[in-house]
């Protein structure tokens, strides 16, 4: 990766990092490749700083409204020990679809911002790795299961 924020991994943090660290002249041409449900924070921040921004929707996320009753039953009965939550939009969808049925399942959030979203619905605080990556989430899972052994 050429550039990565040091704190949170979201659009606002990336914009701050880029503007504070790069010291580039205005009128840089920026292409943002994103999902249809992402916010406009990055593009708006870069435009406000005098850069030309073009966005491309590379993929579409669709919110589910139908639930598999068996999955809801399994969650309610604490069938799953862990649930990985890899984005803010996934956290919002998970809460919307399952709400209190999540209680009893240990949530592993990819970063603190996602964990904060989940805190209200979790019976125990979500686990968050030191680094926002899938590998780090798996390491946290492996570490937490060793503690239980």
Q: What is the pLDDT of residue 129?
A: 92
Position 12 pLDDT exceeds 70: yes
Q: Which of 110, 97, 87, 107 is nearest to 38 (CA)?
A: 87
For residue 15, give every residue at least 6 positions away whose Cβ sits within 8 Å of its Cβ, in sequence order, or none. Answer: 41, 42, 45, 46
Average pLDDT over residues 4-23: 74
Q: What is the pLDDT of residues 106-148, one digit of tens each?
A: 999 998 889 998 887 777 789 999 888 889 999 999 988 766 5
Contact by Cβ (8 Å): 105, 82: yes
Minimal CA–CA distance to 115: which of 138, 147, 83, 142? 83
Q: Is the pLDDT of residue 36 over 90?
A: no
pLDDT at 128: 92
Residue 68, CB half-sphere, CA atoms under 13 Å: how many? 4
Contact 30, 52 (CB under 8 A): yes
pLDDT at residue 56 in the model: 92
- In the predicted model, what is the mean pLDDT of residues 56-73? 84
Q: How far apart are CA 48 and CA 16, in angstroms?
A: 12
Contact 30, 53 (CB under 8 A): yes
The reported pTM is 0.71
pLDDT score of 148: 54
Instruction: Tell me the C-alpha distance between 26 and 52, whole Å.
Output: 9
């Amino acid at each position: 990766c050429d550039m990565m924020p040091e704190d949170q991994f979201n659009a606002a943090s990336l914009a701050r990092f880029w503007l504070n660290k790069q010291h580039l002249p205005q009128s840089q041409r920026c292409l943002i490749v994103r999902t249809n449900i992402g916010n406009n924070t990055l593009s708006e921040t870069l435009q406000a700083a005098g850069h030309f921004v073009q966005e491309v929707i590379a993929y579409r996320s669709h919110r589910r409204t139908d639930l598999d009753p068996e999955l809801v039953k399994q969650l309610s009965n604490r069938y799953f020990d862990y649930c990985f939550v890899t984005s803010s939009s996934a956290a919002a969808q998970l809460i919307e679809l399952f709400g209190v049925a999540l209680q009893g399942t240990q949530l592993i959030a990819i970063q603190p911002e996602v964990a904060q979203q989940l805190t209200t619905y979790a019976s125990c605080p979500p686990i968050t790795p030191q680094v926002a990556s899938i590998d780090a989430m798996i390491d946290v899972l492996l570490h937490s299961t060793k503690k239980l052994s």
